[in-house]
Amino acid sequence: MMITVQEAHTLIRQSLAPLGTEELQLDQIQGKVLARDITAPFSLPRFTNAAMDGFALKWDDIVTATDDFPVRLQVTQSIPAGTLSTLPVTSGCCAEIMTGAPMPEGADTVVAFEQTSGFGSDSVDVFKTPKYGANVRYCGEEITGGEMLFRKGELLSPSEIAVLASFGFASVVVHRKPKVSIVTVGDEVCMPGEEVSGAQIYNSNRFMLEAACRSVGVEPAGLHHAPDDRVALREALALALAECDVLITAGGISTGEYDFVQQELSALGVTKQFWNVAQKPGKPLYFGSTPEGKAVFSLPGNPVSALVCFVEYCIPALNILQEHPEINSFKAILAELFPTDKKRHRFLSGKVWSEHGKLLCKVSPKVESHMITSLAGSNCLVEAEPSSVPLPAGSEVTCTMLPWAMLS
């Protein structure tokens, strides 16, 4: 029975559960999803400090300073970063201070050393009067202690990791990242670098899906290929299932005489949740699950169909397993006609860009599922509901960013 795109998403959501959590060191959390809220254990900055190299002083002492009539102050101390001052700054005096060093008691302003006669003397001439409190970073001006830093569900990038390190976190609890195995199928397929002959074709699906997994931060646990032989296929599927949380296959899922994937998955204990979705491309999409909760996606062999299904279904599934609520879909305006399908939800690779404050998009001129070059240069999928007439330019459509692409 053929189901709708929306029904397929519902069945996938109902069949999956998060994989659980683990505590990892900071050098292991890049690309992982935070599992617990994190609050600031202290204020940031933790103490009031100098924003640049210069002199910490009382602003009232230098309010009249100019190039022609500089103000001379006595230098009573030097404060490098990481050192606390024990000597207050009094009127007529100042302290040499380095960037990040704590402000001494009594000082309220820092004058950059470029606006003075410089370091290395018992006294200094100040030639400029900055505003009161200039070049001072105040305790807690960025974050106050107890304030929320990150909420669970956030994807951890180098930026978040830098913040965590700044607050002294050596490790955090994250959702376990899914292990994915990929199995490509077909006698006709050979590896790039080998010489093709007769009716052979190169295995583009393996490398496309491998790269697509890495684009969402998942390193494939296993890469396999099986010929159109039931015994060899079952062995490859069994091996792949044993090493993963999510199995993705490509090819052998239709109704051809040599399409054995469904039967062999069933023999291995996989329960079919659906097969055949009212979409173009990618109609023969299979989704199943094992008693242990492993997910199985069997994608069509056509590379464009396989990539559409990966972006539309596999990526959301990987996010569900990590409790990551990321949504990459948005609305844009068609700059050119969209060739809809009368009966099926249509996905086409395309390009979205910003122009005069609006998001515009257009689809690739190559629309057939075997035309792999249509993917090159695309940065999104553009989709439309079934319709007996094409969508004209100016229509609003839904787009989904390809995770490896950039908005123009």
CATH superfamily label, 329-401: MoeA, C-terminal, domain IV (2.40.340.10)
CA angle 297, 12, 254 (to 5 degrees): 35
**pTM, whole model, 2 decimals?**
0.87
Domain ranges across the chain: 5-20+177-321, 22-44+141-175, 49-137, 329-401
Convert the pLDDT of each residue in 91-113 to its tens digit.
999 999 999 999 999 999 999 99
Convert the pLDDT of each residue in 36-87 to its tens digit.
999 999 999 999 999 999 999 999 999 999 999 999 999 999 999 999 999 9
Count of beta carbons in the 10 Å neighbourhood of residue 339: 13
Distance of CA 265 to the CA centre of its chain: 32
- Matching CATH topology for 5-20+177-321 and 329-401? no
The correct answer on CATH 3.40.50.300 for the domain covering 49-137 is no
What is the CB-side half-sphere exposure of residue 298 using CA atoms within 13 A?
28
Question: Dihedral through CA 363, CA 376, CA 317, CA 203, nearest 10?
Answer: 130
Q: Is the dihedral of CA 165, 166, 168, 174 positive or negative?
A: negative
Closest alpha carbon to 385 in 1, 2, 6:
6
The architecture CATH gives domain 5-20+177-321: 3-Layer(aba) Sandwich (3.40)
Structure tokens at 331: 């609305």
Whole-number Å distance between alpha carbons of 276 and 274: 7
Structure tokens at 377: 């240069």
Question: Dihedral through CA 336, CA 304, CA 299, CA 10, nearest 10?
Answer: -20
Convert the pLDDT of each residue in 151-209 to its tens digit.
999 999 999 999 999 999 999 999 999 999 999 999 888 888 888 888 888 899 999 99
In CATH, what number does 22-44+141-175 get? 3.90.105.10
Distance of CA 131 to the CA centre of its chain: 41
